[in-house]
Amino acid sequence: MNTTSCKKCGGNNLIMVEYDRLSPEYYDGVSEIDCQDCGARIGRWSGRE
Ligand SMILES: [Zn+2]
């Protein structure tokens, strides 16, 4: 899976998000990728926004 560019806008201004350890959605590691250009939030595992 290519995580270096946004699926939506193709931008490269992405940040990796780790959920808080107390969150029910917590994973060990990056759980989500947020695009700073278009605001898309893409789950790393699910591929969903
Ligand atoms: Zn984007």
pLDDT given for residue 1 in this prediction: 46
- Whether the per-residue pLDDT at 28 is higher than 70: the answer is yes
Q: How far is the CA of 3 from the centre of ligand 1 (A)?
A: 11
pLDDT band of residue 15 (cuts 50, 70, 90) is: very high
CA of residue 21 to ligand 1 center, whole Å: 26
Find the 39 Cα to ligand 1 centroid distance in Å: 6
Cα of 45 vs its chain's centroid, Å: 9
Q: Provide φ and ψ at 14, rounded to 5°.
A: -110, 150
Give the model's pLDDT for residue 49.
Answer: 67
Q: How far is the CA of 28 from the centre of ligand 1 (A)?
A: 24
Q: d(Cα 8, Cα 24) in Å, to the nearest integer?
A: 27
Per-residue pLDDT, 35: 94
Q: What is the pTM of this model?
A: 0.64
How far away, in angstroms, is 29 Cα from ligand 1 center?
A: 21
Q: Could you state, in order of their start, the residue ranges of all structural domains in the chain? A: 1-49
Predicted confidence at residue 13, as pLDDT, reads: 94
